[in-house]
């Protein structure tokens, strides 16, 4: 072997090693623009845009997507498929920039013009078509209008009453359709949930649900409460959304400057989905360092029976893995969600 051939044989593995260690760095920021190139100085703005960039770059080697600090409100669920896959030597990593807090939210922030309604209640015109089951003010979940009122000192449901769905109580309600009944199992095994469909000709509450338990043994005759009833909006922190008229009602606590408050609502059930198929799974994608926040409640979707169990489940979560291999969720927090945090 000549000297030149010896040098070439030594250089080839070094060059290959350098290629495998190289990674493309792409930046995204709440203050960026999706027309930007994705550099640190000129970051992109949305998860959707940076996902498309990652799909193009991953063929050349590892890709690191760096999210700068702030909140990212997702307009729709982020779905990873086989198109997003990396490899063992060239993974795709979506990560919070070191030392910065990054929130991935399944909600949206509302800009509202509040006006007095009555009895300390404020109201504002909401975006047309808004549907939500959770309201957050300055980062704290508020109380959907309920009876009995929320009491942090009461263990069961933070408040319960045997007359929650009595005919006499329902006389106060003009249109309870869309309200919810929450009740303990009659033997205290767990809890049931029902959606109110209205009132019958005699004034009794009509409802459907209770499928969270396979045996359908019925609700407890004492431990129950109702929520999402407009006429029960009567205490600080309570709220109600009139979907038909796109009007949000809220009873702010004393001292809250509602004009400056950050008001957020929940829009999505799932924030992130890994959805591969058997012959094309999602592979080598990592999520790291995020706070995932704001996912819709799913208690009415707990319908799938579990093997050898009296209870059902909902096949989904804020982070949903289905058809994925060698993917990971690392150093992250799942906070303020209405159902499963992570479902695999």
At 10, is the pLDDT very low, low, confident or very high (cuts 50, 70, 90)?
very low
Quote the DSSP letter at residue 93: E
Under DSSP, the state recorded for 253 is P
308 exposure class (CB count in 10 Å sphere: 0-12, 13-18, 19+) = exposed
Distance, C-alpha 314 to centroid of its chain = 14
- Distance separating alpha carbons of residues 302 and 90, to the nearest angstrom: 38
- Segment 143-161 shows an average pLDDT of 98
8 pLDDT exceeds 90? Answer: no
In this prediction, residues 299-320 reach a mean pLDDT of: 92
> What does pTM read for this prediction?
0.89
- pLDDT over 90, % of the chain: 89
Q: In angstroms, rounded to a whole number, what is the distance separating the alpha carbons of residues 321 and 217?
A: 33
**Two tokens at 320?**
């949903």
Confidence of residue 307 (pLDDT cuts 50, 70, 90): confident
Burial of 180 (0-12, 13-18, 19+ CB in 10 A): buried
Return the pLDDT at 11.
31
Q: Which of 312, 311, 309 is nearest to 301 (CA)?
A: 312
Residue 216, pLDDT score: 78
By CB atoms closer than 10 A (0-12, 13-18, 19+), residue 245 is: exposed
**pLDDT value for 22:** 79
Tell me the C-alpha distance between 237 and 120, whole Å.
11
Residues 226-262 pLDDT 10s: 999 999 999 999 999 999 999 999 999 999 999 999 9
Convert the pLDDT of each residue in 158-202 to its tens digit. Answer: 999 999 999 999 999 999 999 999 999 999 999 999 999 999 999
Question: For 226-311, where are the alpha helices, taking DSSP H only?
Answer: none
Q: Is-contact 233 251, C-beta < 8 A?
A: yes
What distance in Å separates the CA atoms of residue 279 and residue 248, rounded to the nearest whole number? Answer: 47
């Amino acid at each position: 072997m000549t000297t030149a051939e010896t040098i070439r044989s030594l250089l080839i593995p070094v060059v290959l090693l350098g290629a495998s260690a190289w990674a493309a760095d792409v930046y995204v920021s709440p203050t960026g623009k999706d027309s930007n190139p994705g550099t640190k100085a000129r970051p992109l703005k949305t998860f959707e845009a940076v996902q498309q960039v990652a799909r193009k770059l991953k063929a050349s080697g590892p890709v690191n997507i760096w999210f700068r600090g702030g909140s990212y409100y997702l307009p729709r669920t982020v779905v990873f498929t086989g198109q997003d896959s990396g490899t063992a030597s060239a993974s795709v990593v979506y990560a919070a920039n070191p030392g910065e807090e990054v929130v991935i939210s399944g909600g949206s922030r509302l800009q509202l013009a509040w006006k007095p309604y009555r009895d300390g209640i404020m109201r504002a015109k909401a975006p047309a078509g808004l549907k939500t089951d959770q309201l957050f003010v300055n980062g704290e979940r508020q109380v959907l209008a309920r009876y009995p009122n929320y009491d942090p000192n009461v263990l069961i449901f933070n408040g319960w009453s045997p007359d929650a769905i009595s005919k006499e109580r329902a006389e106060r309600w003009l249109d309870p359709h869309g309200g919810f009944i929450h009740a303990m199992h009659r033997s205290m095994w767990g809890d049931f949930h029902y959606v109110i469909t209205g009132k019958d000709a005699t004034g009794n509450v009509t409802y459907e649900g209770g499928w969270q338990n396979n045996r359908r043994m019925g609700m407890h005759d004492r431990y129950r409460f109702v929520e999402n009833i407009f006429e029960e909006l009567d205490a600080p922190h309570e709220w109600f959304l009139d979907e038909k008229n796109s009007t949000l009602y809220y009873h702010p606590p004393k001292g809250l400057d509602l004009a400056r408050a950050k008001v957020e609502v929940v829009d999505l059930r799932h924030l992130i989905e890994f959805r591969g198929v058997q012959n094309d799974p999602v592979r080598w994608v990592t999520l790291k360092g995020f706070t995932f926040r704001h996912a819709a409640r799913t208690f009415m979707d707990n319908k799938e029976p579990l093997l050898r169990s009296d209870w059902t489940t909902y096949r989904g979560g804020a982070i949903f893995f289905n058809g994925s291999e060698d993917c990971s969720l690392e150093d992250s927090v799942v906070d303020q969600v209405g159902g499963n945090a992570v479902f695999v």
